[in-house]
Amino acid sequence: MTASDTDLICAIATPPGEGGVGVIRLSGRGAKTLAQTFVRYELQSRQAQYSRFVADGEVLDDGIVIWFASPNSYTGEDVVELQGHGGPIVQQNLLQALCARGARLARPGEFSERAFLNGKLDLVQAEAVADLIAAKSKLAAKAARSSLQGIFSAQVAGLAARLLNLRVEIEAAIDFPDEDIEILQQAQVRQKLAGLSEDVHTLLRQAEQGRRLSQGLTVALLGEPNVGKSSLLNALAGEEAAIVTAIPGTTRDLLKVDVVIDGMPLRLVDTAGLRESDDAVEQIGIERARQQIYSADRVAVVLAATDLADANDSTLANCIARARAQLGAAADSLSADALHIVINKIDLHEPTLPSVEQSETRLSLVSATEQRGLQEFVAALVNHQSADAEAANFTARARHVQALTRVGSLLQQAQQALGDQAGPELVAEDCQLAHQTLGEIVGTISPDDLLGEIFSSFCIGK
């Protein structure tokens, strides 16, 4: 830790603007000594004390002051909270007085960064603090609380401990070269590696779910012009967010709408119709639509039931073929649970197709204008995981998902190397990298630039 990691920092911890109470947080070496000069009573650790806040003989405010003696505080340092009136001028006056006496303004996320550096929270928990504050639904808040309590971290730690154990066995094989082949051929090592790999994949699927909970599930609506994509988006968003017209090609650009349906935050993206066009502006829109196929969590290809009026068209195989044809080469990069087919305008014609429960393919029958089938569509989008996926009970971030994906492929590589009878060094190296990557998730191993990137996205005062 450097000197700037322990110097005295202060910030307004409550939201900006006017409010009944405004909290100023002070943390670092000398926090108590500085706060003591403002208040009339001798501060007692963890006791709420009422006082006037006085600087240079002037009463700046009055309220409750609480001193949390190190290490029993949020940051692990000496922390003082001044809970006065929530007015911008009153709080600025107090901040200025604190800064004039040696404190400095905290950077965004600096309190949480210190909590992490002092071992009060691991990295996943610190990120969960930000996710909890930013939670857009009850479910997301509950999941962020679980992460904050360490449920996700404990699972990562469990995997890391097992991997360490395995590494010891493999490293031993390297230290005793005569026996290496034997040791690596032992079914036990093979089994442990396979078991670990499987559990990493289970956690990865949970983390993917957790990421969707905290960051929302991105759903791209794709399809030919006039099938009703904009109408569907409006029906889901419950407002006239997209312009609906009967002229093909009205949606010239991407339109994103964030909604929370049944506790799940969804980011709906309406796209320009996928079709050949001579119009330069529309072509840009079409290209952006194609990009969505690669970045969205779900791609919902909308077909119009009226285009399926012929009995030959009205088969599941035909719908899938139509959807895939529209996606082009991008269809191959979609995972099995990402593609969803929506048949709209069933008020005009209702095709006889198996419902989503009976079909491997995710298929929903809806009418945007009559608001039919919408809830079932959303439920299918959200719940359709691969069969063995478990529900998310913690929040996660893209960073965690990427790290777990890397751990999964390193372990697979290690299994491969084991099967190929490669030297134990290769297996050991993959396991070492996988172990290190697990460490990066919780922050036991964390490059400085990663920390900077994570904490700078926090709000000030956290």
Residues binding ligand GDP (CB under 6 A): 223, 225-231, 244-246, 250-251, 273, 344-345, 347-348, 367-369
Q: What would the 3-class secondary structure string for 180-221 be?
A: HHHHHHCHHHHHHHHHHHHHHHHHHHHHHHHHHHHHCEEEEE
* CA pair distance 216, 238, nearest whole angstrom: 18
Answer yes or no: are the C-beta atoms of 115 and 72 closer than 8 Å: no
Which phi and psi angles does 68 have, rounded to 5°? -110, 110
Tell me which DSSP letter residue 119 carries.
T
Least Cβ distance, residue 369 to ligand GDP (angstroms): 4
Closest contact distance (angstroms) between CB of 397 and ligand GDP is 32
Amino acid letter, residue 15: P
Shortest separation between residue 358's beta carbon and ligand GDP, angstroms? 23
β-pairing, 264-270 vs 255-261, is antiparallel
Name the residue nearer to ligand GDP (CB basis): 31 or 242: 242
Query: At its nearest, how many Å lie between ligand GDP and the CB of residue 217?
Result: 20
Cβ proximity to ligand GDP, 117 vs 227, nearer residue: 227
| Torsion of the alpha carbons at 218, 221, 222 and 228, rounded to the nearest 10 | 180
As a whole number of angstroms, the distance between CA 174 and CA 183 comes to 10
Q: 73 or 344: whose CB is closer to ligand GDP?
A: 344
Closer to ligand GDP at the Cβ: 368 or 442? 368
* CB contact burial 26-43 (16+ within 10 A = b; e otherwise): bbbebbbebbbebbeeeb
Task: Round to whole Å and give the CA distance between 228 and 459.
Answer: 40
Nearer to ligand GDP, 1 or 246 (CB): 246
Q: Minimum distance between the CB of residue 231 and ligand GDP, rounded to whole angstroms?
A: 3
The least distance separating ligand GDP from the CB of residue 330, rounded to whole angstroms, comes to 19
Residue nearest to ligand GDP (CB): 228
Which CB sits closer to ligand GDP, 63 or 223?
A: 223
Least distance from ligand GDP to the Cβ atom of residue 236, Å: 12
Beta strand extents in 331-425 (DSSP E only)? 339-344, 362-365
Tokens of 129: 């603090």
β-pairing, 217-222 with 264-270? parallel
CB of 341 to ligand GDP, least distance (A): 14
Q: Which is nearer to ligand GDP, 160 or 308 (CB)?
A: 308
Residue for token digits 């794709």?
222
Query: Residue 228, exposed/middle/buried by CB under 10 A (0-12, 13-18, 19+)?
Result: buried
Residue nearer to ligand GDP on the CB measure, 227 or 381: 227
Please enumerate in sequence order all residues whose Cβ is within 8 A of that of 29, keeping only pairs 6 or more positions apart, or say none: 6, 7, 8, 77, 78
Q: Using the minimum distance from each CB to ligand GDP, give the nearer residue, 214 or 226.
A: 226
Nearest to 139 by CA among 383, 374, 377: 383
Of 369 and 444, nearer to ligand GDP (C-beta) is 369
Task: Provide, rounded to whole angstroms, the least separation between the CB of residue 250 and ligand GDP.
Answer: 6
Comparison of 377 and 455: residue with beta carbon closer to ligand GDP? 377
Q: CA-CA distance, 127 to 398, in Å (whole number)?
A: 12
Interatomic CA distance for residues 438 and 69, integer angstroms = 33
- Does residue 71 have a cis bond before it (omega within 30 degrees)? yes
CB of 460: closest distance to ligand GDP in angstroms? 41
Smallest gap from residue 90 Cβ to ligand GDP (A): 51
